[in-house]
Amino acid sequence: MLTIYTAPSCTSCKKAKTWLTYHNIPFQERNLIGDPLSAEEISRILEKCDDGVEELISSRNRFVKTLGVDFEDLSLSAAIKIISENPQIMRRPIIMDEKRLHVGYNEEEIRAFLPRTVRILENGGARLRNAI
């Protein structure tokens, strides 16, 4: 089952939920602010991150700036502790299933969550349109 981690006022989260609903992809939603992730849950997400902690942190976020922390200089456990205590510093949405993770909203990249058969059909249709 797909899980989407969101925040109430997040425009990108709303776009992602609308996209998933439009494509009939069932998902569970979890509000990161109202129901923050535990350190263990953050660790599981980080296991799927290609770019480590930096992939999850919104460096432009005003809360990150007020913390005055350089996440590159922290140990993993210290970074996880700060993230779990300050969920508002996480980039959103975080979309995850058993195999994949996507952070943020990008319509091209979110397509990875479409069933393979749908992606093949849509790509074949695009190639056919381009050939005409």
* Residues noted as catalytic: 10
Query: Taking a C-beta distance cutoff of 8 angstroms, is the pair 61, 71 a contact?
Result: no
Which residues 6+ apart lie within 8 Å of 117 measured at CB? none
Which residues 6+ apart lie within 8 Å of 66 measured at CB? none
Q: Which amino acid is at 127?
A: R
Chain centroid offset of residue 122 CA: 24
Distances (CA, A) of 61 to 27, 42, 57, 58, 98: 26, 19, 8, 5, 28
